[in-house]
Amino acid sequence: MELPTIDLPALPRLLAAPAPGWVETTDVVVVGSGVAGLTAALHLREAGLHVTVVTKVNIDDGSTRWAQGGIAAVLDPADTPAAHASDTEIAGVGLCDPAAVRVLVEEGPIRLRELMRIGAEFDRNPDGSLMLTREGGHRADRIVHAGGDATGAEVQRALHDAV
């Protein structure tokens, strides 16, 4: 059985979209304005590159600001990255990627200090030291908060201001 031939109209070579509303010359485009996007943008800018951040609406409309938990990092001299890794792997019930856990526990303190360097303000004890607390799965006080349960909002604010 032979199928009938159908004549289709030729497709246009250009889409009928409007001209762009703006043009930007840049070295790097970062898509997304959450913690990862803004942190990448800051590091790229510090490396001397011109960076453009593209986001769906406004730079602070993402979910970062709603994060209420704290940030885990080994900051107490009595704590160790090995203990943090052990707690993380136990809580992860076998689902953790060991390489990712290693990066988390080794770089956590560095990244937290980076956030403080750009202006993030975390809760402090009366003597000015960072207030370390404990959250589920941790057997040591290694969690920092900002504004009690407003850690995400503070991280977003600091990154936004820095960018």
Each residue's pLDDT tens digit, 130-159: 999 999 899 999 999 999 999 999 999 999
- Which residues, 6 or more positions from 131, have their beta carbon under 8 angstroms from its beta carbon? 122, 123, 124, 125, 144, 145
Q: Quote the pTM value.
A: 0.80
> What is the pLDDT confidence band of residue 58, given thresholds at 50, 70 and 90?
confident
Q: Say whether pLDDT at 9 is over 90.
A: no
